Amino acid sequence: MKVLKNFIPFAAVLCLGGVALGEDTPMEKEMGVMNTAYKALKKSVEDPAQKAENLKLIADIKKTTESTAKMEPKMAADQGAKKAEFLAKYKSEMAEFGKVVDALEAAVKSGDTAAAKAAFVKLGELKKKGHEEFKKD
């Protein structure tokens, strides 16, 4: 029991410390994985010789798109009565992002470099828009 009494404050301090230090949210961690794949893809997306590697990177983006679409951005907590509307908009933009990821995958699979490049550029635009609307500074 004494051990438990000592452990609870210790655990609480650790948790608060994590928040105070600005530790990554689960969503930030997933976005970090997406970012690594996105940056790598930027260099290789127009190279048909790297098709297999590109498809792996796109699969990472797809997976993190699916996981983050189910999460709530930190900013959702500040929305008050508009929270449901905020989350609906977030989910809808994530779904749009997912469709462009599918288009990118199809273009890379078929070796359509121009379509792959166009879809990749669109992903960058949706990323910018998504961060402006849903990400706290």
Interface ranges with ligand HEM (CB under 6 A): 25, 27-28, 31-32, 34-35, 38, 73-75, 90, 93-94, 97, 123, 126-127, 130-131, 134-135
Largest CA distance in the chain: 66
Q: Which is nearer to ligand HEM, 31 or 107 (CB)?
A: 31
In whole angstroms, give the CA distance from residue 101 to residue 107.
10
Q: Which is nearer to ligand HEM, 119 or 134 (CB)?
A: 134
- Is the CB of residue 98 less than 8 Å from the CB of residue 69? yes
Minimum separation from the CB atom of position 15 to ligand HEM (A) = 17
Q: Which is nearer to ligand HEM, 1 or 132 (CB)?
A: 132
Rg (CA), the chain: 19
Minimum separation from the CB atom of position 5 to ligand HEM (A) = 33
For the chain, helix (H) and strand (E) counts, in that order, are 5, 0
Q: Which is nearer to ligand HEM, 109 or 128 (CB)?
A: 128
Minimum separation from the CB atom of position 7 to ligand HEM (A) = 28
Question: What residue number has its CB nearest to ligand HEM?
Answer: 130
- Is the CB of residue 48 less than 8 Å from the CB of residue 113? yes
Tokens of 40: 């790598």
Q: Which is nearer to ligand HEM, 7 or 89 (CB)?
A: 89
- Is the CB of residue 25 less than 8 Å from the CB of residue 67? no
Minimum separation from the CB atom of position 131 to ligand HEM (A) = 5
In whole angstroms, give the CA distance from residue 84 to residue 20.
27
